[in-house]
Amino acid sequence: MTRPERTGDRPVILVDEHAHAWSPRTARTRFRQGLAGPTAGVAAGHTQANLISVPADWAYDMLLFCQRNPKPCPVLDVTDAGSPATVLADGADLRTDLPRYRVWRDGELVDEPIDVRAHWRPDLVSFLLGCSFTFEWALAAAGVPIRHVEQGRNVPMYVTGRQCRPAGRLRGPMVVSMRPVPPEHLRSAIRESGLLPAVHGGPVHCGDPAVLGIEDLGRPDFGDPVDAAPDDIPVFWACGVTPQAVVTASRPPFAITHAPGQMFLTDARDDQYRVVGVD
């Protein structure tokens, strides 16, 4: 996949170490002003979301794709055509309030701006999908180390050999995120993430990455490699970057997505999506 030079007319800096204490509104305001970088650890306790916007004549295919593949594509909201607003965040603008975007034409990545107002179209329908960054707070509260946050890196993400169920004109492989988990914390990681199905839920695989068709954990397709402890087990969760792999495979004429790891901060609290668990 091609990676164009960064563009935009505003200064670009990285999310800072105090971002966990921001409100979602503060985070969105700072992103609108030019702040950029991975959002893991931002606005503690609030739900993060993936974004994909497609022309209205592709919206049914996307909705059907999400319905058929709820693990990688759990829908939190779908907007009206042309609207940059969402019920998930009062006063937010989906064209400006993410750290970084990706713009796609005929399945090719053509730009990675920090503002997509110049690319916006009146026929775009936006889908906001649950993000695994949301359940990282629950993992941390249960004592599970979050290696990429500890190391100040973006979570590693991989295109797998596992194909999603096709829908209309859309097809493509599932993308997963990976977190190394110590064996003694594996049960907690599975349990805590499983209680949040709206943000991908429990893992799709634990252990040998070759089962998913991943050849080298040190070379993620998106994000950054992370350093694992010697006994850590690689744990893989379905990832909301899957629609971007689907765009590459299916080649719709136009789409806008978030940049991997740079999510939309909603006003929703994590516990709104938590189901009752039984040990």
Q: List, run by run, the mean pLDDT of 10-residue segments along the chain (279 residues).
A: 35 62 95 92 93 98 98 98 98 98 98 98 98 92 94 94 98 98 98 95 97 97 95 98 98 98 95 75
Please give the pLDDT value at position 247: 98
Domain limits, the chain: 134-238
**Can you name the CATH fold of 134-238?**
PSTPO5379-like fold (3.30.2040)
Please give the pLDDT value at position 15: 61
Quote the CA–CA distance of 266 and 23 in Å, as a whole number.
Answer: 10
Please give the pLDDT value at position 20: 86
Task: Look at the pTM and tell me if it is higher than 0.85.
Answer: yes
In three-state form (DSSP H/G/I as H, E/B as E, the rest C), the secondary structure along the chain is CCCCCCCCCCCCECCCCCHHHCCHHHHHHHHHCCECCCCCCCCCCEEEEEEEEEEHHHHHHHHHHHHHCCCCCCEEEECCCCCCCECCECCCCCCCCCCCEEEEECCEEEECCCCCCCCCCCCEEEEEEECHHHHHHHHHHCCCCCHHHHCCCCCCEEEEEEECCCECCECCEEEEEEEEECHHHHHHHHHHHHCCHHHCCCCCEECCHHHHCCCCCCCCCECCCCCCCCCCEEEEEECCCHHHHHHHHHCCCEEEEECCCCCEEEEEEHHHHCCCCCC
Please give the pLDDT value at position 9: 40
Please give the pLDDT value at position 2: 31
Please give the pLDDT value at position 10: 40
